[in-house]
Structure 1
């Protein structure tokens, strides 16, 4: 019996993409969730097994124990693949216990959490000579003066703990235009027990957002990588990718590999950079320490990161590979891109003709697959149900 792949979080298309990426290679995939609600990733024909476990946050100890109990029943250690930041944080906090029963690339407890926490990431980046946007912490001396003089309005109020902030406010940041709005945002964050800081906005439209997507082996060396460029995100300007292209940007390899190898990172990581439209310099914005939301695009250009992870973990690594050409292929999450386009056009940031022109590329879809259509039908059924439920309410 081969090692199974246990995928945490299948109510979002990242989990679905991980299941497909592994299932197509003949790997036995196990969809793990805390609820049947909106579990469309588990509807894939590539999902071999489905289990329900206690909630990772509300019943953390029971969740960890359920994972351990499952692994104990297997002939070989399963490979564990978290597909959401909140799952990742819990696994990272209990890494030493979990690693007794699962194969996981990361060996240093706390490192994954440090790179997804904006405060500790900022410190790590500064320590390793990577440029980050100017930041002022709320409790620093002369806070207001520094915001007005160093950061300037408009600026961003960002959380240290992004998953918790998003769960509370359904947005990644607060954008504020003056001191009054800043004080309101700080009060909102304080009321919700969210620690935040203030950061300068790096000038440039959403197409100035780039990514370095890489896998680092157990020696913390980059073995597989490519670079991408975001064209549109939702919510617009400060959201998740809805239309992204693979684009070769060699300087990102220099910046990204040096940093990740320098912090002794292992496994998959995606660094988001923003290119300053005035200076051309790249600033590190954030890191995704789990499979990215445009994983299917990476798969389509020849980098199957869930399978790369799986093969190294079972001791049979794939040959190193880098995509060092621009393939012109795009990731497209049509459902949210339609919402994004409406807002881009409404705010005058894009013309309809530009959007239409951008769509004439070979695409990697977030959910839809002709050979595996069921997840898309389950997704649409849930969305339509919610829509009618809201209207009735």
Structure 2
């Protein structure tokens, strides 16, 4: 890559109890050899990443994807006219559809991305997971998409309590009776839309992999970890890198078979008998990506280089036993900055 300064737009600056990946992605870029100007792309005016000192050079508010594709694209065009973006790294499942849909249009404008294809994005949806498992020869817990809470009282066997009920994009709750199921169905469908997915609970340890595929079947990066501390929202608040060859084998297999392009997170359950069940694929960089950076694989840097068309050599090793622990930190700011982002939509 030429050593010119790159202007990189990053979403997901909400570093709260259910953190977005944006802050960790930016930290990874700043730890790399890339000379970058960072443009924060925020959906809400109180996302902490906007105000963290030394993190972003400028922030713009962007409309929620649900506002409509026209408003979304218009805002990106305006920001690009001001900043001349080289790369955008989107970090939320709910925005990826539009970024993938408009990736060619963005490239015409000079904005590079490195994202899965629409087919890759669609086929790994939670409600498609059983078909995905059959197609690629992996195990998943029994699961079923539902569109009506009445279906919960008559779930087909072998689905039984306890099970997890999952939102289309985010959130999952453990259910032990029908009343609980109906309550969470209503909550999740109102927030994330339909379908809602019911997935059999599997006993075991949750293990995760962050990986990067080059779009040609090669795994450029893969780091495995185990959550050590989990919040009530199911988010990792602490984790440790693992030496787990079977877990990495499954990751390589999925990327080879699907020719996955871009970053992903595999969430899996390892049973006491040593079986691995895939419970979810997140089609983007996860919030714990800075652990991978600390373990020797700077995935945000590699995403930037791949987006700019550079050849990136796969990294096959990382440090085991590296830990991360999240913590809260009171950030003191000025009301004048808040007013600017509210009134002008940029800071």
Shorter-normalised TM range = 0.7 to 0.9
The corresponding residue for 2:37 is: 28
More helix by share: 1
Equivalent residues of 2:221, 2:297 under 8 A apart:
yes
TM-score for both structures, normalised by structure 2? 0.81
Per-residue Cα deviation, 1:282-328 (whole angstroms, up to 9, x for no partner): 000112222211111111111111111111222334432123552x1
For residues 237-291 of structure 1, what are the alpha-carbon distances to aligned partners after superposition, in whole Å with 9 as ceiling and x for unaligned? x6111111011111011111111221121111111111122x3210001122222
CA-CA distance at 1:55 after TM superposition: 3.4
RMSD value, Cα: 3.0
Name which of 247, 250, 256 aligns with 2:242.
Answer: 247
TM-score for the superposition, normalised by structure 1: 0.73
Distance 1:191 1:56, change over 3 A: closer
Q: Distance in 2 between matches of 1:152 and 1:35?
A: 39
CA distance in 2, matches of 1:10, 1:315: 26
3-state SS, counterpart of residue 65 of structure 2: coil
Q: What residue number does 2:59 align with? A: 50
Cα distance in 2, alignment partners of residues 80 and 122 from structure 1: 32
Report how many aligned residue pairs link the two structures.
Answer: 323
The answer on whether the counterparts of 1:8 and 1:87 sit within 8 Å (CA) in structure 2 is no
Residue of structure 2 equivalent to 1:158:
166
Alignment of 1:1-393 (within 5 A): 1-12=4-15, 14-24=21-31, 25=33, 26-41=35-50, 43-71=52-80, 78-101=86-109, 102-106=111-115, 108-115=117-124, 117-138=125-146, 147=156, 149-159=157-167, 161-163=168-170, 172-186=171-185, 194-204=194-204, 208-235=205-232, 239-277=234-272, 279-326=273-320, 328-335=321-328, 376-378=329-331
**Which secondary structure does the structure 1 equivalent of 2:158 belong to?**
helix
- Which protein has greater RCO, CA pairs closer than 8 Å, 6+ apart? 2
Q: For residues 301-357 of structure 1, give each alpha carbon's deviation from its aligned partner in whole angstroms, at most 9, with x where no partner exists.
A: 11111111111222334432123552x12111234xxxxxxxxxxxxxxxxxxxxxx
Q: Is the 8 A contact 1:92 1:113 kept in 2?
A: no
Structure 1: tracts of 5 or more residues without a match = 164-171, 336-375, 383-393
C-alpha contact (below 8 Å) 1:248/1:324 kept by paired residues = no
Secondary structure in 2 aligned to 1:106?
coil
Change (3 A) 1:42 1:307: farther
Question: Any unmatched runs of 5+ in structure 2?
Answer: 336-347
Question: Is the contact between residue 271 and residue 284 of structure 1 (CA under 8 Å) also seen in structure 2?
Answer: yes
Distance change in 2, residues 1:316/1:157 (3 Å): closer
Contact 1:85 1:290 in 2 (8 A): yes
Deviations 1:100-127 (A, max 9, x none): 3321123622533443x20123322221
Instruction: Summarize the Cα distance change of 1:69–1:177 in structure 2 as closer, same or farther, 3 Å threshold.
Output: same
3-state DSSP of counterpart to 2:6: coil
Distance 1:119 1:324, change over 3 A: same
Q: What secondary structure is seen at the aligned counterpart in 2 of 1:40?
A: helix
Contact 1:136 1:143 in 2 (8 A): no
Cα contact 2:210–2:289 (8 A) shared by 1: no
Asked if 2 retains the 8 angstrom alpha-carbon contact of 1:243 and 1:331, the reply is yes
Alignment partner, residue 362 of structure 1:
none
Output the CA distance in 2 between the equivalents of 1:30 and 1:158: 32
CA distance in 1, matches of 2:147, 2:94: 27
Asked if structure 2 preserves the Cα contact closer than 8 Å seen for 1:22 and 1:29, the reply is no
